[in-house]
Structure 1
């Protein structure tokens, strides 16, 4: 990515009362072409820094001051006010369509079904593949601990 075409800022989530990391990327092409970039960015930032990225938002331009500094507060304010909700919904829908087109159900045993159910509940995702990387999904260390706790509780084993 070119310098000056990406902005990262913290955004306060009023519902959870926590700060979230949101990445804004200049992008003017079709939304479907943006999806691979979203996954790569989330995976890379999670793997390299352990950061959980709330959203990666495509935007046409990044607001800057007359001296060229990125105005992150404007991006955060616009995000908090829901100005990117439509584009984020479009991204979610496009990702769901691609996932459904590539989804092939695999027969699962009882333990695998429990594991998938636990992961779906804790990670708040619809489906998880056996080959999915937790870095790609954006799993946090806290969520991994929650998964282990649930596995120990439901399977009666110590991990």
Structure 2
């Protein structure tokens, strides 16, 4: 029994800490407290590259630290049907397109690609966008070069 407890403690300590994840619904009140740029990670449940980024890039300690200190990190499943209320506007799932309105707006009239990363100012201007998988080292460089 003692051996089992030790093994369970070791396994639980191996789990990686992740960055804080916020929803669009929280951003208005967060921006009132502290202005920060926003990173939106747009994914889909079936997307293997999205899962790979979750399991590698967003588990890198340097990325976690930078995201927690300087950004509000939002994960957006483009196929989620939950309405979003952000800056007094309601954004909904678009059944005819099969994607959430917020993902479509971020794509800015371009084809939705998964995964995608958008870095927005606290005034919602797109500073940077990347479509497809991005390595942790490259994302770290981008995050460090964004001025806010």
**TM-score band, normalised by shorter chain:** under 0.3
Larger RCO (CA under 8 A, 6+ residues apart): 2
Which structure has the highest strand share of the two? 2
Which structure has the highest helix share of the two? 1
TM-score, normalised by the number of residues in structure 2: 0.24
